[in-house]
Amino acid sequence: MNIQLLHQNIADTKRAVSLEYITTDDLKKSKNRQALKLAGFKADQDTICFLYDKNTLICGLDSHSCDDVRSVTAVAIKALQKTEYKSANITIDDKSLIPAFVEGFVLGGYSYEVYKTTKSKSKLKQISLIYTKDDYKSAIKIFSDAIVVADATCFTRDIVNTTPEDLTPVTFAKLAKKLAKENALGCKILDEQALLKENCTSMLAVGRASRHESQLIHLSYKPKNARKKVSLIGKGLTYDSGGLSLKPGASMVTMKMDKAGACAVLGIIKAASEMKLDIEINAFIGAVENMIGGNAYKPDDVLVSRSGKTIEVRNTDAEGRLVLADLLDYAQDKVKADYIFDFATLTGACMVALGQYTTGVMGHSSRLKHAVGKASTDAGELTASLPFNKHLKKQLKSEIADICNISNKPYGGAITAGLFLDAFIKEENKEKWLHFDIAGSAYTESPWDVNVYGGTGASVRFMSKFLKSL
């Protein structure tokens, strides 16, 4: 399916089906109000009504805001894909809504059918956004950036949805190399021998029972005269069985999504490089598989992290933070960044706190959390801040090591996981760092908004928006 932005003066508007977006107030003035009344259409949010004799699809929404437009567009594209129409058009007079339309069509129309023998087919091949104002040049820039971000989000979804047998730590590294070649990025891969030389023994412990070697991936995008330098760190558990603290069988299903933080990091650097942002970006990924075996790391082990801090292991299913401990330390040593962001499907506790739709944000800088919150609101993604406090920090105390990998109490698990990571952030970087727990927002089995079954591509849109704001 191709999407294009046309100017009114050059557009061929004689398309097979036109989309019309109306609120309950608009309904009263609609030229089709009698037909819609007979159909029982009330213009509620995310409702649609086909007027086939007029080749028109009416889309109901609460307001003409970006969020409401994006959401109903995702409903509309699913309906259009089931029809015999080959093309569609929508007239736009507000360029700020262009990203909402693009994301609604691209993300709402996404499907992942790699493993199906029979693929679904749609007759719909062309969608035209027809812009009516004179400032077409500025509108086309907004449109092209929106396409890049939407495509990068779908790219991220594809990786998340790939099975753990097909996407191992080694094949993850190959995928990163391929992206680096296509987008002219720097690329460095550390295998297990190189990781041992770097003293990344905490990360290595998590992956040592797997038949697939752990990999540390470092991609870099370095434009000339970069205004800022940003480090992105992603948890890349290509599969998480829980290790010897084995997950229940039902909880292992969907654990291919435990690499979603790393996938988001790839999607973000892809989008930034294609938009040609004047921001240097360094992406660090810890690609590891957490399995069981005679050589698996164990509860009661004490690991020595790359930073030298010792970690008492009391649960091998709290493995992502052990990978990130070494990865964060490595990233801080290799790049002196203005901002440091890590992305991880870290805790089920984050879903308990915020629900499945919202990314948890943790860190010390209120200013930075506010800036990212604004970007996420503008991008249509949900984030919420979870506050650190000294009392929860005490719950990570170990009697035999510097820190314990889980809290000694069953409360505030998302925050104590963030506080564990905070222990590996150097003092000079505390105000530059934020942790994003995407455990709930990165994957869904119940479609919502522009998200279909599977990976959502969480964080790509709002972080692209934040990077552009720099």
For residue range 260-277, list pLDDT tens digits in order: 999 999 999 999 999 999
59: amino acid identity, one letter: C
Mean pLDDT over 116-120 rounds to 95
In the block, which residue shows the tokens 């307001």? 63
Contact 187, 218 (CB under 8 A): yes
Helix (H) or strand (E) holding 466: helix 460-469
Flag whether pLDDT at 248 surpasses 60.
yes
The predicted pLDDT at position 324 comes to 98
pLDDT single digits (tens) 339-379: 999 999 999 999 999 999 999 999 999 999 999 999 999 99
- Closest C-alpha among 81, 66, 73, 12 to residue 48: 73
- Read off φ and ψ for residue 282, nearest 5 degrees: -120, 120
Query: Are the C-beta atoms of residues 54 and 430 closer than 8 Å to each other?
Result: no
> If 0-12 CB within 10 Å is exposed, 13-18 middle and 19+ buried, where does residue 390 land?
exposed
102 class by beta-carbon count within 10 Å (0-12 exposed, 13-18 middle, 19+ buried):
buried
- Residue 13: its pLDDT value, please? 53
Spatial distance between the Cα atoms of 390 and 451, rounded to a whole number of angstroms: 37
Q: Which helix (H) or strand (E) holds 385?
A: strand 383-385
Question: What is the chain's mean pLDDT, rounded?
Answer: 97
pLDDT at 50: 96
Q: Which residues contact 427 (CB under 8 A, 6 or more apart)?
A: none
pLDDT of residue 250: 95
Q: Is pLDDT at 8 greater than 80 in this prediction?
A: no
CA distances from 243 to 96, 263, 285 (A): 47, 22, 20
Name which of 338, 244, 332, 240 is nearest 289 in CA terms: 240
Residue whose pair of structure tokens reads 């690499």 in the numeric block: 259
Query: Which two three-digit tokens encode residue 391?
Result: 């009392």
Q: How far apart are CA 433 and CA 426, in angstroms?
A: 10
pLDDT at residue 426 in the model: 98
Could you tell me the pLDDT band of residue 77, with boundaries at 50, 70 and 90?
very high
Say if residue 10's pLDDT is above 80: no
Q: How far is CA 465 from the centre of its chain?
A: 13
Query: Residue range 82-91: average pLDDT?
Result: 95
Q: What's the average model confidence in pLDDT over 234-257? A: 97
Task: Give, as one character, the DSSP assignment of residue 114.
Answer: T
Among candidate residues 104, 121, 115, the one with its CA nearest the CA of residue 21: 104
**Residue 16 — pLDDT band, cuts 50, 70, 90?**
confident
Sign of the torsion formed by the C-alpha atoms of 135, 141, 144 and 148: negative
pLDDT, tens only, 27-63: 999 999 999 999 999 999 999 999 999 999 999 999 9
Counting every residue, how long is the chain?
Answer: 470
Q: What pLDDT is stored for residue 15 in this prediction?
A: 54
Q: Are 318 and 206 in contact (CB under 8 A)?
A: no
pLDDT in tens, 141-194: 999 999 999 999 999 999 999 999 999 999 999 999 999 999 999 999 999 999
Q: What is the pLDDT of residue 389?
A: 95
DSSP strands (E only) in 134-212: 186-190
Distance CA 404, CA 198 (A): 22
Which DSSP string corresponds to 260-294? Answer: HHHHHHHHHHHHHHHHT-SEEEEEEEEEEEE--ST
- 298-313: pLDDT as tens digits: 999 999 999 999 999 9
- β-bridge partners, 19: 57
- Residues with catalytic roles: 247, 321
pLDDT digit string, tens, across residues 387-396:
999 999 999 9
Q: How many helices (H) and strands (E) does the chain have?
A: 16, 19
* Domains, the chain, ordered by start: 2-134 (3.40.220.10), 164-469 (3.40.630.10)
Give buried/exposed letters for 159-191 (b at 16+ CB in 10 A, else e): bbbbebeebbbbbbbebbeebbeeeebebebbe
